[in-house]
Homo-oligomer: A and B are copies of this chain.
């Protein structure tokens, strides 16, 4: 999505260690109008896929997932990162390894809202190593649902998570893929 690439170049900031910071429009302050535009583009890409639900993970995936769900006219469900060891019998649970924090965490959704027969689009703001997406896909499979694919705002292509999922036959649509960040220069795929 050309508009997102331009926005990253115009508004994104590159921090030490080649970290792209987009918390001015994507994951702290949020450009609501622009997210609705990304929602339109994602709906266009997945037209005819028969999606019944949008699934994301708290917290920064919620905004873009809501934009997509509103445009699609289906419910959005956000998985919760569990802090407690309480197991609720009415939850599907998976474990996600956090690249950023170096720890594992539990991710849960209520069994009431993910069902056999659901055709689910997984939406998130970032895709790096793909662990969070794999966790969400696992929850869908536990429920007996179908994965329509994934829709991501920014994919860090050089971390390989998106391509690994694609190699397994999972559809992954990213609005922008960063293939290289070197010396403050971003190269898009």
Contact = CB atoms under 8 A, between A and B. Distances in A.
B35 A70 contact: yes
A78 to B, nearest CB: 7
Which range contains the number of A residues in contact with the other chain?
Answer: 20 to 34
A70 B28 contact: no
A31 B75 contact: yes
Nearest to A28: B110
A72 B54 CA distance: 24
B74 A28 contact: no
A interface secondary structure, majority? mixed
A99 interface: no
A24 B59 contact: no
A141 interface: no
A24 B113 contact: yes
5 smallest beta-carbon distances between A and B, as pairs: A32-B69, A58-B59, A32-B70, A59-B59, A29-B113
Given A23-B110, A24-B112, 13 more contacts: A24-B113, A25-B75, A28-B78, A29-B112, A30-B69, A32-B66, A33-B70, A35-B66, A36-B70, A59-B62, A62-B66, A63-B66, A63-B78
